[in-house]
Every structure is written in C-alpha cells, then in structure tokens.
C-alpha cells in the first residue's frame, strides 16, 4: 500500500525538530496522522508523535516510510487522506502545519477542518 500522505521538506524538518525537542530520536518515534470527528466542517486532522515502544495501535494501522520518517495511519483515516500534502509554514500568514487535501469538498476558514 502506498502512503496517502506527501510530506513537504519544511514539514519533515519541523517534525524532526519537534521530535528532537521532546527527546525522541528518529528511530524511537513515529508520527500518527488521523482524521477525527470535529471542527466546524465536520472532520479535523490530528497529528501526534508516538513512541514506537509504547504505542497502542490497532490491527488496521497502516505504516509508511517517507525517507527516515515513519508514519502510521488507521484505515479509516487512510481513506480520507489519499493524496493529501502535509505542509509547514512559519510565514506572515500564520505558523503551523496545514493539510492540503484534494478530497475535501469544503474546508473551514481556519483550514483545520474539512468535509467530503
């Protein structure tokens, strides 16, 4: 199975910086990306750092490697995320991670939630 997520260089660098700041090495942690109910458009993205040795995943988790970054996505979220690009910006328009999802039919004005 191919990765549903494309991670920009800026997002990859920021993820690794956060992991390092929290005391994780690239070998000891991974990123969990999920879609959960919530937000003003119905669905929202969730991005977490997960310790590989102490994670409580499920049988339907899908694992992907993008360079040296391990990403885990549950199957429900995988279906929503196909083709999504994870970006990071620290420019004048705001700082943070953004998801560019080609499957979203509507997003809220803050860009943190979407619907299909």
In this predicted model, what pLDDT tens digit does every residue of 76-106 receive, in sequence order?
A: 899 889 899 999 988 766 678 888 888 776 5
> Assign residue 69 a region: left if phi > 0, alpha if psi is -120 to 50, beta otherwise?
beta
pLDDT of residue 53: 80
Dist. CA 102–CA 31, nearest whole Å: 21
| Distance in angstroms (rounded) separating the CA atoms of residues 42 and 8 | 25
Cα separations (Å) of 63 from 36, 52, 105, 114? 18, 12, 27, 24
Distances (CA, A) of 27 to 11, 48, 65, 115: 18, 16, 12, 34
State how far the Cα of 35 lies from the Cα of 46, in Å rounded to an integer: 6
* Structural domains of the chain ordered from first start: 5-115 (2.60.300.12)
pTM greater than 0.85 (yes/no):
no
pLDDT in tens, 25-50: 888 899 999 988 876 657 888 999 99
């Amino acid at each position: 199975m191919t990765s549903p997520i494309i991670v920009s260089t800026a997002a990859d660098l920021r993820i690794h910086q956060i992991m390092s700041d929290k005391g994780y090495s690239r070998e000891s942690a991974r990123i969990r990306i999920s879609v959960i109910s919530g937000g003003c458009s119905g669905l929202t993205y969730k991005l977490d750092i997960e310790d590989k040795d102490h994670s409580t995943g499920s049988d339907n988790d899908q694992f992907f490697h993008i360079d040296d970054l391990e990403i885990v996505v549950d199957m429900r979220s995988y279906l929503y995320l196909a083709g999504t690009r994870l970006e990071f910006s620290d420019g004048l328009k705001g700082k943070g991670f953004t998801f560019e999802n080609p499957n979203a039919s509507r997003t809220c004005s803050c860009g943190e939630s979407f619907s299909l």
